[in-house]
Structures are given as C-alpha cells and as structure tokens.
Amino acid sequence: MFVYEKKLQYPVRIKNTNPRLAALIISQYGGPDGELGASLRYLSQRFSMPFPEQKGLLTDIGTEELGHLEMVGAIVHQLTRNLTEEQQRAAGFDAYFVDHTAGVYPTAASGFPFSAASIAVKGDPIADLTEDLAAEQKARVTYDNILRLSDDPDVNDVIKFLRQREIVHFQRFGEAIQCLRERLNQKNVYYMNPAVDL
C-alpha cells in the first residue's frame, strides 16, 4: 500500500508567477516522458519481475517518481497562483486556461492529454528494463529542454534536482539488468522469458 508523507521530496518555492512557463512544465506532469508515466510504468512493470532486485528497484523508483509528480504539480500550481486577467490571457497559457483554469491536469505541453500509450509494459524483464533506460534518458532531455527555455531561478533549482534523479535512475536500471543477467543463462540470456518460463 502507499502512505502519504506530508512533505515534498525537495522544496518547491516559486516567488514569481509565470503561466507561460507553467504551460511548458506541465509536460513533465502528464506528457509522454513525464512523471505520471514514469511512476505508472515502473509500478506496473514490477508485477512481472521474477527476481528481488528488480521488484525492489521498480517499487522504489516508481515510488520516488510519485514524489516527483507531486513536485512538478507544485511548480505548476505555484506558477499559476493568483493570476491577473492579463496573465490568464497570456499567449501560450490561454489554451490551457480555457480547458483547466488554474487546475493541474496531466497533459503534454503540446496539448495532448496523458496517454498510457507513452509507456510500455511488455512482461519480459530485459525488454522492460531496457525501455526504462530509454525512459530515463527521454525524461532527462525534457528537463534539459526546460532548463534551456526557463530563466526562473526558483524553477530551475527544482528542475536541476529532478534532472539529476533521471541520471541516477538510469544507472540503477542498468545495474538491475546486470543483476538479471547474472541470474539467467549467461551464454544466451534470451533463451526464455523468466517472467513466464521459470
């Protein structure tokens, strides 16, 4: 089960509102490489993992990603608090405003609502963990791109933290594949699907 802890993993305190920036950051909430997809991907993939290292790691990283989802939601919320009428109309935010007001909705910055099609659960440990390596890299690049586009130091402070976590997760998923290989037939790790055939 999950228990809520009433604190963020890393502090989010955005002094200045900026709805246009919020409309970009929202992509890491509900976009194709965002934190909602990350948490669902890992917390779903773990069910078919046959060995303890991968069950544990997917549970722990999936849980951390839920904390990141909360942080990204906090950034969007704080960037859009107490908006003036002019800010509501701001180009780049008006389309979001008409659909969601200042609510936090899982969507990509490009306007596409969250889609489970952006994650995968193949039910084969090597395939799923290889997907996770790619997922961490894509999330890392999205944070790189946000850093390119944002000049708000309060936002960037948090984005740098989140970006660095993707790198650490990539490392751990790589190690989890090695742990997996050591438990398989090393001459041919593709001999069978350990989620099905063990």
Partner 1 sequence: MQERMEESGLGRLPQYAPLANPYVPYQSCGAATYPAKRGVVRGTLFPGLDLPFLGMVNEGELPNLPLHELQALSFAITELGLYLDTHTDDTEALELFRRYVALYEDGAAQYQEKYGPLRLQCAGKNGRYNWLQSPWPWEYDAKQED
Residues that bind partner 1 (CB under 8 A): 3-14, 53, 56-57, 60-61, 64, 70, 73-74, 77-78, 81, 130, 133, 143-144, 147, 156-157, 160-165, 167-179, 181, 186-187, 189-190
Closest distance to partner 1 from the beta carbon of 19 (Å): 14
**Residues in Cβ contact with 90 at an 8 Å cutoff, skipping those fewer than 6 apart:** 19, 20
- Minimum CB–partner distance for residue 8 and partner 1 (Å): 5
Backbone angles phi, psi at 107, to 5 degrees: -145, 160
Residues paired with 107 in a beta bridge: 113
Alpha-carbon distance of 67 to 99, in angstroms, equals 26
Closest contact distance (angstroms) between CB of 44 and partner 1 is 18
Q: Which is nearer to partner 1, 71 or 109 (CB)?
A: 71
**How many residues are given for the chain?**
198
Task: Find the distance separating the first CA and the last CA of the chain, reported in whole Å.
Answer: 27
Q: How far is the CB of 129 from partner 1 (least distance, A)?
A: 8
Residue number, 98 or 186, with CB nearest to partner 1: 186
Closest residue by Cα to residue 173 from 138, 128, 120? 128
**Which residue number, 93 or 163, has a Cβ lying nearer to partner 1?**
163
Closest contact distance (angstroms) between CB of 193 and partner 1 is 16
The count of C-alpha atoms lying within 13 angstroms of the C-alpha of 135, restricted to the half-sphere facing its C-beta, is: 30
Cβ closer to partner 1: 17 or 115? 17
**Identity of the residue, 16 or 116, whose beta carbon is nearer to partner 1 in the bound complex:** 16
Amino acid at 197: D
In sequence order, which residues have a C-beta less than 8 Å from that of residue 94 and are 6 or more positions away?
88
